[in-house]
Structure 1
Amino acid sequence: MIAALKFLHIAGLICWCAALIALPLLLQGHGAARGQRQYDRFRLLTHIGYIGFATPAALVTVAAGTALIFAAGIFEPWLIIKLGFVAAMVMIHIWFGHMIQRSGEERRSRWRAAPLAGLVVVMPLMAVVLGLVLLKPAPGPFRDLIPAQFLSPRVSPP
């Protein structure tokens, strides 16, 4: 079961990260659409990319990761820190959705640099998440920063 959850988590994460890289690049081409037909294609591609690919990939990643935490019983300080960076990735994901929605309302955007700024922010977040997972740093300096109740599952009194 743990192997299946890891597979789902990693596959979802790969798809979600790919979408978080592709969406701002697509949004950058928003102003370059010439004519209504190109603009309609742009809107359809970004909408389907966000609603039909990026968001389901994010949901699979988070759901499988949450199940994996409890199935494997991992309650380490590095994981709590990683979840903070994942939460930042979720916020960037939501911001990209906002930009996609706004691109349907405004033909020429006032926020031309915003998609690339989002890309510049999300790339280091992905690198930190990957680094924390691969390195699994020792609890030494982090253990004192995190309250004890976050480092173990809650047990109901008998």
Structure 2
Amino acid sequence: MPWLKLLHICAVILWCGALLYLPLAVAAAGGAQRRPVALGAADDEILRALFVWGATPAALLAIASGTLIFIWHGTLGVWLLAKLALVALLVLGHASFGLLILRLERGQPARHAALGVGALLLPLLLTIAWLVLAQPGARP
């Protein structure tokens, strides 16, 4: 099943890349003075498209392929349970960007919230990467 791991890794890279880009994109769109409706709406549509057609499918593919890998190999350890808990928090961060994009579309401020969520996601992503690569407590 190396193709499944490759699929999982590619989906994770796309998802994490989007999660690292979204805080800056939302903050930039929410921090700029609102332009005329035609220009502001285009920015909001681009953010929505990135979230709906980029980040979300990558997240679903990463979660589905990770679940299949887990089922196929039957691995279970404390490190995996910790990783799954952190991935659940990552999903909440992902969903919060959807809410922030909706706030932007309504003309409400979202800059500080986007930067705050982004600041929380970076250590979360690094911890997940460490758990996967080190697999502390796993038997050799």
Unaligned regions of 5+ residues in structure 1, if any? 141-158
CA positional deviation for 1:39: 0.7
Distance 2:82 2:95 in 1: 20
Distance 2:105 2:59 in 1: 23
Tell me which residue corresponds to 2:12.
13
**Number of equivalences:** 137
CA positional deviation for 1:102: 1.3
CA contact (8 A) 2:28 2:111 kept: no
TM-score w.r.t. the length of structure 2 is 0.92
Distance 2:138 2:5 in 1: 23
Distance 2:111 2:127 in 1: 27
Distance 1:17 1:112 in 2: 20
Report 1:69-148 matches (<5 A).
69-106=70-107, 108-109=108-109, 111-139=110-138
Tell me which residue corresponds to 2:60.
59
CA positional deviation for 1:139: 5.0
Tell me which residue corresponds to 2:38.
37
CA positional deviation for 1:76: 1.3
CA contact (8 A) 2:41 2:105 kept: no
CA offsets 1:97-149 (integer angstroms, 9 cap, x no match)? 0010111112x51x431111011000001000000000010159xxxxxxxxx
Distance 1:45 1:21 in 2: 16
Distance 1:86 1:123 in 2: 13
Q: By percentage of residues, which structure has more helix?
A: 2
CA positional deviation for 1:35: 2.4
Tell me which residue corresponds to 1:25.
24
One-letter code aligned to 2:132: V
Query: Whose RCO is larger (CA < 8 A, sep 6+)?
Result: 2
- Between the aligned residues of both structures, percent identity stands at 34
CA positional deviation for 1:94: 0.4
Distance 2:92 2:133 in 1: 23
Moved over 2 A (4+): 33-38
Unaligned regions of 5+ residues in structure 2, if any? none
Distance 1:34 1:26 in 2: 16
Tell me which residue corresponds to 1:68.
69
Indicate the structure (1 or 2) with the bigger Cα radius of gyration: 1
